[in-house]
């Protein structure tokens, strides 16, 4: 279940798709919004209007999920035995509670709830266990919590408070979390990773499913000139959001300049459609620039990846044994970069200060020091063992059986 634009992500999957929120988020809305925001002729006034419209739609979506009859009806008609909700948007779990349908939070990033030993994912900090580090972590969480009382956060809190007034027995939750629309709920939290990549945590309650990387997904092959050879291949991509900031052109050019000075290296770089592969003029013979690259195919050949640090890309690097140089942009990427450094899987940088000299030095270090690849391959075994063992499916089945055992005396679902 998702807004209509979500159907495209299931085009190769056998599962049925149920559209929701068509009136608020009609088909094509997401692409149109991104296209308009990327328009170089967009005026500040038009940008503000787009932002206001987006926030209005988000508020209407929240109201429909919590109180709307249409969403409740489709959820009831689905016949679901379990609802997995994206942990960044937990409100559907509250709606499921009204119908007696159990719901779990699914984190496609690392855990989002507050932990005394772990900084928020938006933080670059690497915990040391010392007093100053613990105070810094606490201050980071308190600052994020205070933000939930500001106007934007209060608009989220108000409908949630109204829901709990109507349904005082609903799943308890709180706003001691981050990167979430809605409260962090007291339900099983599933994390699509292994604890080996995370920092040690002070609190429990998490269920790790393994990395859940589809290593068999169909992708086009690499260009023939890149598919073989002894030259180290450097893969560079800033992910699905990397082409939405025109300032990244400077970064891409710095990568090209760094590799052009090392003719013994090869570079394959994805720059996205908005920057455009043809926007860099004549390229050195050891550089290939494309709008999109088949990432798994490239990682099977790569010696290092320069990445934005999105968790999916980081997990794919680990699954294929590739060290990283992480240039975090937004969201959970600073925290992922901190973990890459903490575990010795690579280096990190500041994309705003990127230069050919800095990037060249980082590439020299990672390519010249086999310890990075050794440490990545040690975690690779942990990742592959988790996925190959069926850990994810087994964990969900066990949690659902435990829930059914605890609630057996009660009705499975509320009457319509």
DSSP sequence for 313-337: HHHHHHHTT--EEE---STTHHHHH
Output the pLDDT for position 414.
42
Of 30-39, 131-140, 339-348, which gets the smallest average pLDDT? 30-39
CA-based torsion, 4, 122, 323, 264: positive or negative: positive
Percentage, residues of the chain above pLDDT 90: 62
The pTM of this model reads 0.89
* Residue indicated by tokens 């260009």: 223
Cα 213 to Cα 34, 296, 300, distances in angstroms? 27, 10, 14
Is residue 105 a part of any domain in this protein?
Answer: yes
Read off the pLDDT of each residue in 52-59 and give the average, rounded to a whole number.
91
Residue 409: pLDDT band with limits 50, 70, 90: low
Residue 413: pLDDT band with limits 50, 70, 90: very low
182-187 own/partner pairs: CB under 8 Å, 24+ apart: 182/62, 182/89, 182/90, 182/91, 182/94, 182/156, 183/90, 184/87, 184/90, 184/105, 184/112, 184/113, 184/114, 185/90, 185/93, 185/94, 185/103, 185/105, 187/93, 187/102, 187/103, 187/104, 187/105
Residue 313: pLDDT band with limits 50, 70, 90: very high
Q: Which domain holds residue 189?
A: 78-208
Output the pLDDT for position 155.
81
Regarding whether 34 and 174 lie in a shared domain, the answer is: no
Nearest to 395 by CA among 144, 104, 132: 104
Read off the pLDDT of each residue in 241-247 and give the average, rounded to a whole number.
58
Is residue 406 a part of any domain in this protein?
Answer: no
Strands 189-191 and 173-174 turn out to be unpaired
Regarding whether 370 and 282 lie in a shared domain, the answer is: yes
Is residue 35 a part of any domain in this protein?
Answer: yes
Q: Look up residue 373 and give its two tokens.
A: 């690849």
Regarding whether 243 and 176 lie in a shared domain, the answer is: no
Cα 24 to Cα 77, 212, 289, distances in angstroms? 21, 31, 38
Nearest to 403 by CA among 102, 151, 146: 102
Is residue 364 a part of any domain in this protein?
Answer: yes
Read off the pLDDT of each residue in 52-75 and give the average, rounded to a whole number.
92
* Residue 35 pLDDT greater than 60, yes or no: yes
Nearest to 180 by CA among 107, 123, 240: 107
* Residue 243 pLDDT greater than 80, yes or no: no
Output the pLDDT for position 410.
52
Tens digit of each residue's pLDDT (9 = 90 or more) over 179-196: 888 888 989 999 999 999
Regarding whether 62 and 84 lie in a shared domain, the answer is: no
Round the average pLDDT of the chain to a whole number and report it.
Answer: 89
Output the pLDDT for position 241.
64
Residue 280: pLDDT band with limits 50, 70, 90: confident
Regarding whether 83 and 55 lie in a shared domain, the answer is: no
Q: How far apart are CA 231 and CA 241, in angstroms?
A: 29
SS3 83: strand
Tens digit of each residue's pLDDT (9 = 90 or more) over 348-372: 999 989 999 999 999 999 999 999 9
Regarding whether 186 and 124 lie in a shared domain, the answer is: yes
Cα 48 to Cα 28, 37, 42, 51, 59, distances in angstroms? 20, 10, 10, 5, 17
* Residue 133 pLDDT greater than 90, yes or no: yes
Tens digit of each residue's pLDDT (9 = 90 or more) over 169-180: 998 988 888 888
Is residue 73 a part of any domain in this protein?
Answer: no
Query: Going along 111-230, which residue ranges are E strands?
Result: 173-174, 184-185, 189-191, 206-208
Is residue 409 a part of any domain in this protein?
Answer: no
Read off the pLDDT of each residue in 287-299 and give the average, rounded to a whole number.
91
Looking at the DSSP bridge assignments, the partners of residue 289 are: 269
Read off the pLDDT of each residue in 51-74 and give the average, rounded to a whole number.
92
Is residue 411 a part of any domain in this protein?
Answer: no
Nearest to 122 by CA among 341, 337, 390, 405: 337
Q: Report the side by side order of strands in the sheet with 324-326.
A: 287-290, 266-270, 233-237, 304-307, 324-326, 346-348
Regarding whether 83 and 62 lie in a shared domain, the answer is: no
Regarding whether 229 and 344 lie in a shared domain, the answer is: yes
* Residue 15 pLDDT greater than 90, yes or no: no
Regarding whether 82 and 29 lie in a shared domain, the answer is: no
Residue 415: pLDDT band with limits 50, 70, 90: very low
Regarding whether 230 and 195 lie in a shared domain, the answer is: no
Output the pLDDT for position 8.
85
Output the pLDDT for position 416.
35
* Residue 88 pLDDT greater than 60, yes or no: yes
Tens digit of each residue's pLDDT (9 = 90 or more) over 217-230: 888 888 888 888 88
Q: How far apart are CA 167 and CA 83, in angstroms?
A: 19
What stretch of H or E contains 100?
Answer: none
Percentage, residues of the chain above pLDDT 70: 94
Is residue 195 a part of any domain in this protein?
Answer: yes
Read off the pLDDT of each residue in 274-279 and give the average, rounded to a whole number.
71
Nearest to 320 by CA among 304, 309, 342: 304
- Radius of gyration (C-alpha) of the chain in whole angstroms: 23
Regarding whether 318 and 228 lie in a shared domain, the answer is: yes
Query: Half-sphere exposure of residue 9, counting CA atoms within 13 Å on the CB side?
Result: 8
Domain of 317, CATH number, reads 3.40.50.2000
Regarding whether 317 and 279 lie in a shared domain, the answer is: yes
Count how many domains the chain has. 3
SS3 312: helix
């Amino acid at each position: 279940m998702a807004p209509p634009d979500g159907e495209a992500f299931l085009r190769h999957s056998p599962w049925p798709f149920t559209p929701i929120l068509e009136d608020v988020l009609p088909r094509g809305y997401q692409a149109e919004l991104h296209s308009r925001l990327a328009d170089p002729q967009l005026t500040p006034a038009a940008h503000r209007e787009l932002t206001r419209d987006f926030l209005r739609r988000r508020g209407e979506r929240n109201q429909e999920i919590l109180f709307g009859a249409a969403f409740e009806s489709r959820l009831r008609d689905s016949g679901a035995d379990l609802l997995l909700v994206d942990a960044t948007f937990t409100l559907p779990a509250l709606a499921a509670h009204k119908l007696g349908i159990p719901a779990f939070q699914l984190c496609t990033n690392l855990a989002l709830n507050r932990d005394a030993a772990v900084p928020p994912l938006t933080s670059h900090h690497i915990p040391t266990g010392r007093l100053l580090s613990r105070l810094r972590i606490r201050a980071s969480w308190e600052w994020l919590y205070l933000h939930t009382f500001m106007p934007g956060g209060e608009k989220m809190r108000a409908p949630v408070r109204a829901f709990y007034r109507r349904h005082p027995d609903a799943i308890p939750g709180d706003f001691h979390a981050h990167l979430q629309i809605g409260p962090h709920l007291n339900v099983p939290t599933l994390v699509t990773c292994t604890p080996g990549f995370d920092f040690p945590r002070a609190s429990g309650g998490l269920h790790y499913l393994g990395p859940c990387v589809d290593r068999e997904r169909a992708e086009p092959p690499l260009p023939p000139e890149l598919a073989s050879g002894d030259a180290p291949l450097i893969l560079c991509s800033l992910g699905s959001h990397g082409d939405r900031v025109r300032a990244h052109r400077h970064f891409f050019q710095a990568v090209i300049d760094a590799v052009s000075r090392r003719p013994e290296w090869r570079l394959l770089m994805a720059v996205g459609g908005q920057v455009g592969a043809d926007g860099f003029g004549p390229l050195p013979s050891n550089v290939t620039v494309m709008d999109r690259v088949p990432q798994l195919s490239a990682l099977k050949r790569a010696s290092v990846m320069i990445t934005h640090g999105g968790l999916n890309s980081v997990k794919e690097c680990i699954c294929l044994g590739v060290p990283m140089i992480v240039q975090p942009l937004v969201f959970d990427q600073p925290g992922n970069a901190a973990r890459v450094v903490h575990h010795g899987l690579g280096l990190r940088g500041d994309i705003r200060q990127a230069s050919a000299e800095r990037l060249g030095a980082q590439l020299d270090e990672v390519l010249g020091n086999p310890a990075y690849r050794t440490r990545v391959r040690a975690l690779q075994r942990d990742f592959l063992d988790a996925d190959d063992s069926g850990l994810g499916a087994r964990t969900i089945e066990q949690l659902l059986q435990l829930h059914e055992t605890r609630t057996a005396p009660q009705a499975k679902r509320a009457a319509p």
